[in-house]
Amino acid sequence: MRGEFLLLSSVRIVRSLLLLTFVISSCSLFAGNPHTAIINEGDVVTHCLDTTALAPDTPAYIINNCPQSGGESVNFTLNENTWCVTYEGTNIGGQDTACVILCTNSFVCDTTFFYITTLPSPPVVTDTILINTTETLCNINFPNLNGTATALDNFCGGSSPENVEFTIDNTNLCVDYYAAAQGSGRACIRATSDLGSDYIYFDVVVRMPEPEFLNAEVEVGETIEVCAEDLEIFGGNQKAKSICGSSDFFGAEYIKSDNCFRVEGLEEGTDVVCFTVCDDLGICDSIELEVTVLMRNQPILPVANDDTFDANIGQDNVLTICANDDINAMEDPILTIVPASDGGIDSQWGTSEVSENSCEIIYTPLDLACTQTDSLMYEMCTSNGCNRAIVTINITCEEIQDTSDMIEVFSGFSPNGDDTNDNLEIKGLENYPDHTLTIFNRYGSQLMEVKDYQNDWTGTWNGADLPEGVYYYLIDTGAGSHQSGWFVLHR
């Protein structure tokens, strides 16, 4: 066994000496001229040697005669079946060399050199944006740039694939990018300074709108609005289409103007309906609406909430009580002041009484009550029941202000066609030409917003008469102040 090993070793030594002798003395036959290439980290390239010059002989083996010159920036692999050389860039930038020798059994050999340079991988900046939107990337960090950037360019020619449109803004050294189609895109952003250049890859993923899930409760016979506030479509002419059928428990009608649904409770139970909403850009979002319909077995009590007001000495102060209360009934509430003898609170620094308008309390401080704090309790009742709340009153000593510029909203109107009190009338708006009037129902849903109101509203919404009841208003005077309150619509 030892003798056989010595014999094999001797053969290998002789073959190596013959090979070395031939390499030193021969000229290039078939392996080709030196092979040079520049690759990036992770790139894998295969180059096959030309063996046609060996005919009729064939290659027998291939070796790398300088393995110590590779393996840091480039890994070389030799294939003895295909006579190809594969090289792969590592994560260390630089140049490596392979000395590739191809020989036949008769020791006809040739040598070629591979000079391969691996470029260090640039940083990759990523972002995800919604389709049909535009974003901007500024203050880009180029870690290997010497000096201050003076210009940017996209040297890979745009996006591949063309799902993202990149635009270079060299005035601000920023990149604008528009999401044109679902998918991803890459820009190769190069910064140039007086001392050189550096670059990064900018990868952008374009996402589609995310579904929106809505939940609501409604009573049998009740109609409410449920709005989708986060739809991610931006084109015009939006249209909704039902995609999972209707419900036996409730009706749902899409209101195009504000992406809301008018939901009417029909029968006790829970169900889900689904809609897609599409714009004229061909982009669609989806809405899943789950509604629970309840039977009204118990009346809904009014909810009275505590209030805090300022009251001035020397005048009757009108405190609008119901503005922050939930009446929960299609009727005017009845207010009473609850004395201490009935579990309430007696005023210590003034007198109070309920005005003719059911949601107002008139409070008159005593002359010596300056800077004092007073309180009272009121009870709000409807046909469904009663609830109580406390009113805190901070008494001030300011002089009575001139009321010539005050706005007065009439407490009620009755649009019944008798030419008497048919419109909501507001006095004093002519003193505020830039005012805006907004009206809400008792659920907080906006019914109307109008600039320069002309005292011409007759209690309608989308062409239909609103039911009678309490409604709320907000007036933006356009001069830096606001006024809010309530009024009653009678039928």
DSSP, residue by residue, 341-397: GGTS---SSEEEEE-SSTTEEEEEE-TT-TT-EEEEEEEEEETTEEEEEEEEEEEE-
CA 443, chain centre distance (Å): 27
Residue 459: is its pLDDT beyond 60?
A: yes
Length of the chain in residues, anyone? 491
Second-level CATH architecture of 408-489: Sandwich (2.60)
Q: In which order are the strands placed within the sheet that holds 284-294?
A: 212-219, 284-294, 269-278, 239-242
CA 208, chain centre distance (Å): 12
Q: What is the per-residue pLDDT across 78-96, written as a single tens digit (0 to 9) for each?
A: 999 999 999 998 878 788 9
Instruction: Give the three-state DSSP class for 429.
Output: helix
Q: What is the average pLDDT across 245-269? A: 85
Give the gyration radius of the chain's Cα atoms.
42
CA 72, chain centre distance (Å): 45
Instruction: Give the three-state DSSP class for 99.
Output: strand
Helix or strand holding residue 8 (H, E): helix 2-25
Tell me, yes or no, if the two domains 124-207 and 408-489 fold the same way: yes
The rounded percent of the chain whose pLDDT value lies above 70 is 89
Residue 5: is its pLDDT beyond 50?
A: no
Phi, psi of 99, deg, nearest 5: -105, 95
Q: What is the per-residue pLDDT across 53-86, written as a single tens digit (0 to 9) for each?
A: 777 788 898 999 999 888 888 999 999 999 999 9
- 161: pLDDT confidence band, cut at 50, 70 and 90? low
CA pair distance 355, 363, nearest whole angstrom: 10
Q: What is the average pLDDT across 242-255? A: 87
CATH of domain 212-294: 2.60.40.10
CATH of domain 124-207: 2.60.40.10
Q: Specify the higher pLDDT residue, 401 or 27.
A: 401
Q: What is the pLDDT of residue 228?
A: 82
Q: What is the average pLDDT across 249-276? A: 86
What's the CATH superfamily of 27-119?
Immunoglobulins (2.60.40.10)
Q: What is the average pLDDT across 106-128? A: 87
Q: What is the pLDDT of residue 293?
A: 92
The rounded percent of the chain whose pLDDT value lies above 90 is 41
Residue 272: is its pLDDT beyond 80?
A: yes
Q: Specify the higher pLDDT residue, 386 or 15.
A: 386
Q: What is the pLDDT of residue 403?
A: 57
Residue 363: is its pLDDT beyond 90?
A: yes
Phi, psi of 18, deg, nearest 5: -65, -40
- 160: pLDDT confidence band, cut at 50, 70 and 90? low
> In the chain, how many H helices and how many E strands?
1, 37
Helix or strand holding residue 34 (H, E): none
Answer whether 0.85 is exceeded by the pTM: no
- 325: pLDDT confidence band, cut at 50, 70 and 90? confident
- 158: pLDDT confidence band, cut at 50, 70 and 90? low
- 32: pLDDT confidence band, cut at 50, 70 and 90? low
**Cis bond before residue 211 (omega within 30° of 0):** no
> In this structure, are residues 50 and 32 in contact, taking their beta carbons and an 8 Å threshold?
yes
- Strand ranges in 65-182 using DSSP code E only, listed in sequence order: 74-79, 84-89, 94-104, 109-119, 124-130, 134-137, 151-154, 164-169, 174-179
Q: Specify the higher pLDDT residue, 281 or 448.
A: 448
Residue 29: is its pLDDT beyond 70?
A: no
Q: What is the per-residue pLDDT across 365-410, written as a single tens digit (0 to 9) for each?
A: 998 899 999 999 999 998 888 999 999 999 998 654 555 678 999 8
Write down the domain spans for the chain. 27-119, 124-207, 212-294, 307-396, 408-489
Residue 7: is its pLDDT beyond 90?
A: no
Q: Specify the higher pLDDT residue, 439 or 404.
A: 439
CATH value of 307-396 in 3.30.70.2660, 3.40.190.10, 2.60.40.10, 3.30.1360.120? 2.60.40.10
